Chains A and B, each alone.
Chain A
C-alpha cells in the first residue's frame, strides 16, 4: 500500500477531506514559518507535507514527526486549507503501527491505560479545583474506578496496549528498542 493509502486507513477518523487536502499543498512554507515547535526544534512542517505528497516512507521513522505540539497554527494559516495538523496526527498513526513511536507519546499512552488520563490529577490540580469551587476529584476515572476498567478493556480489545508496549504486570512500559 502507498503511504497515502496507509494514512487514509489509519487516519480514517479525520475524514477523507483531510487526506485529499494533502494534494493541495503548494509548498509555500507558511506552515514551517509559523511553527512554534520549529523555532526550537528541527521539525519542518512543509518538508513533511512534501514527503507525504511524494509517498516517501522514510518520514515514518523520522523522530521529528513527534515534535508537532498540535497547536494548529499552521492549520489555521494554511492558504490552501491543507489540514496539516490532522495529516500529521494521521501519519503518526501509521508510524506507530510500524513500530515508530516517540518515548514521550508512549508514556502518555501508558498513563491513559494506567489511570484513564493522559495527565493524571496531581496535588496542584486538586488545589486549583478546590479554589474554583469544584470537587477535589473530577467525575472521571479518578472518581469511578469501574470506568477505568472499561478503558483498560477497550485498550486490550483495540490492542492499544500492544501498540504502545504496555506491560500489565509492571503496569509500565515494556523495555523496547527505540527504532
Chain B
C-alpha cells in the first residue's frame, strides 16, 4: 500500500521520510517548483541559531534520493475519492520545460523577462526561466509559464536557442494514484500588512516584513547578507510585534505563536551585523514559551535590544526618518521612535488555495481557513478517516512543532496502512 503527502515543507518532508522508512511507498506532492517550503526562506532557527540550510538541505536530499519516495513537484491535488485504505487521488503534474538538473544557467542570461522574485519576498528580480533558490530540489532551471513570453505570445525562444534540453511542447498531465492514507502539510502564508494601512507598509521602502528581513539577513539573499535599506545601512531599527495576529479587525484574533521568537532571533542577528545601531521592539506581551526561548529572550535583551511594551500604533515619515508612534504602556505615555527600518512581525495565515484543497479532500476548515483536527486528543487526525494533518495548515506553529506533527501524522498513517495491509 502506498501513501500520499501533500506539501514539501518541513512537516511534509518529515512525514514522507518517516512513512517511507517504515516500508511504505510514498508520493510527495508539492505545488511549488522545489521542496523545502517556507523554512527555506529562513536563515536561522530560534533559539539555537542553527543555520536552517544545514538541516533542511540534507532532509530535502534524503527525500529526493529515497527509493520509496516519488516526488511530484509543480503538481497539485485535484480530487480525492474513496475511503481510508483505498483512496483514488487525481493529481495535475505541470511541466518544468527544462530537464531536471539542467543548470548551466546560460538560458537565464538570455531571458528578457524580469519579474519580482517571490523567494526573496520580491526584494530583487528573477527571470521567467530561473533556479528557484540556491539549494532547490529538484535542482536546475524551470520555466514559469505565466510570465514566459513564449507562452504569452510566442514572441521569444531565446533560452531554447542556447539550451537544447528545453522543450516548450511539454504538457501538463493528470495522473491518478491509489493510496491508503493522506498527510496534508500545505503550510501557511504570511499576513499582508497592507490590511493595516496605518503602518504604511506600501508607502515606505523602509517598512519591511519579517520575512523580507530573513531574506536580507541571508548570505544567499538579495543583498548578500548585508543590511541595506534605501541604499544604506540603518542606524535605527524598530520591530513591531503582532502585525496581523491577535487582531480581530483583520479577522485574525489568534496568536501566531512564532513572531515573538523569530523577532528576538532577527534582532539578535541584526545586532551581530549592526553593533552600533539602536534596536528596539514594541510588543503587547512576550510569548517565549518554547524550550530555551525565555533564556534566549533575555540574551537578546542583553544585546541591548530595547523591549517596549505596547503595540505599534502608526508609522509616518517626517521627511528625514520614518517615525513609529506607539504607547509605552508601562509608562502610560505615547512615544515616537525615529527609525531607518521598521520590521513588521507578520503573522501566520492559511495557505492560499486552502479552501479548494479542503473541498477536494472533503476535510473541514475553521473560521480562519486552517484545517480542523478531529479533536484535541486526536490532533493530527481529521474527521475523515485516513486523512491526517501536519504543520501550519492546521494552525500556526514553529519549525520544531511542525516536524513533530509531521512525525506524528506519519505514525498515524503508518498505523492505518498497516491495518489495511493485513
Chain B residues closer than 8 Å to A78, beta-carbon distance: 249
Would A33 and B248 be within 8 Å (CB), given that A28-B310, A47-B332, A77-B198 are in contact? no
Task: Indicate if the CB atoms of A79 and B310 lie closer than 8 Å.
Answer: no
Task: Indicate if the CB atoms of A38 and B246 lie closer than 8 Å.
Answer: no
- Select one of B246, B326, B329, B333 contacting A79, CB under 8 A: B246
Binding site for B on A (CB under 8 A): 26-35, 38-39, 44, 46-47, 76-81
- Select one of B242, B285, B329 contacting A46, CB under 8 A: B329
Chain B residues closer than 8 Å to A33, beta-carbon distance: 310-314, 325-327, 334
Task: Indicate if the CB atoms of A39 and B334 lie closer than 8 Å.
Answer: yes
Task: Indicate if the CB atoms of B313 and A32 lie closer than 8 Å.
Answer: yes
Distance, CA A142 to CA B409, complexed state (A): 74
Task: State the Cβ distance, B144 to closest chain A Cβ, in Å.
Answer: 37
Distance, CA A81 to CA B310, complexed state (A): 17
Chain B residues closer than 8 Å to A79, beta-carbon distance: 242, 246-249, 311
Chain B residues closer than 8 Å to A29, beta-carbon distance: 284, 309-311, 313, 326-329
Tell me the number of A-to-B contacts counted with CB atoms below 8 Å. 69
Task: Indicate if the CB atoms of B329 and A28 lie closer than 8 Å.
Answer: yes
Task: State the Cβ distance, B393 to closest chain A Cβ, in Å.
Answer: 24
Most buried by B among A27, A29, A31: A29
Task: State the Cβ distance, B101 to closest chain A Cβ, in Å.
Answer: 49
Distance, CA A13 to CA B95, complexed state (A): 63
B interface, size bucket: 20 to 34
Chain A residues closer than 8 Å to B328, beta-carbon distance: 29
Task: Indicate if the CB atoms of B248 and A80 lie closer than 8 Å.
Answer: yes
Closest 10 pairs (CB-CB, A-B): A33-B313, A29-B327, A29-B310, A32-B327, A79-B247, A28-B311, A29-B329, A33-B326, A33-B327, A28-B284
Most buried by A among B242, B325, B333, B334: B334
Distance, CA A31 to CA B311, complexed state (A): 9
Distance, CA A29 to CA B285, complexed state (A): 11
Distance, CA A39 to CA B313, complexed state (A): 13
Chain A residues closer than 8 Å to B333, beta-carbon distance: 44
Chain A residues closer than 8 Å to B249, beta-carbon distance: 76-79, 81
Task: State the Cβ distance, A67 to closest chain B Cβ, in Å.
Answer: 14
Question: Restricting to B255-313, which residues have a CB under 8 Å from any CB of A?
Answer: 284-285, 309-313
Chain A residues closer than 8 Å to B246, beta-carbon distance: 26, 28, 79
- Encoded as 1 (CB less than 8 Å from any A CB) or 0, chain B from 306 to 348 comes to 0001111110000000000111110011100000000000000
Which chain B residue shows the least CB distance to A27? B329
- Encoded as 1 (CB less than 8 Å from any A CB) or 0, chain B from 235 to 257 comes to 00000001000111100010000
Chain A residues closer than 8 Å to B329, beta-carbon distance: 27-29, 32, 46
Would A34 and B284 be within 8 Å (CB), given that A29-B311, A39-B334 are in contact? no
Task: State the Cβ distance, B314 to closest chain A Cβ, in Å.
Answer: 6
Chain A residues closer than 8 Å to B310, beta-carbon distance: 28-29, 32-33
Chain B residues closer than 8 Å to A81, beta-carbon distance: 248-249
Which chain A residue shows the least CB distance to B283? A28
Task: State the Cβ distance, A76 to closest chain B Cβ, in Å.
Answer: 8
A-B contact pairs, 23 of them (CB 8 A): A27-B329, A28-B246, A28-B311, A28-B329, A29-B310, A29-B313, A29-B328, A30-B313, A30-B327, A32-B329, A33-B310, A33-B311, A33-B326, A34-B314, A34-B325, A38-B334, A39-B334, A44-B327, A44-B332, A76-B249, A77-B313, A78-B249, A81-B249
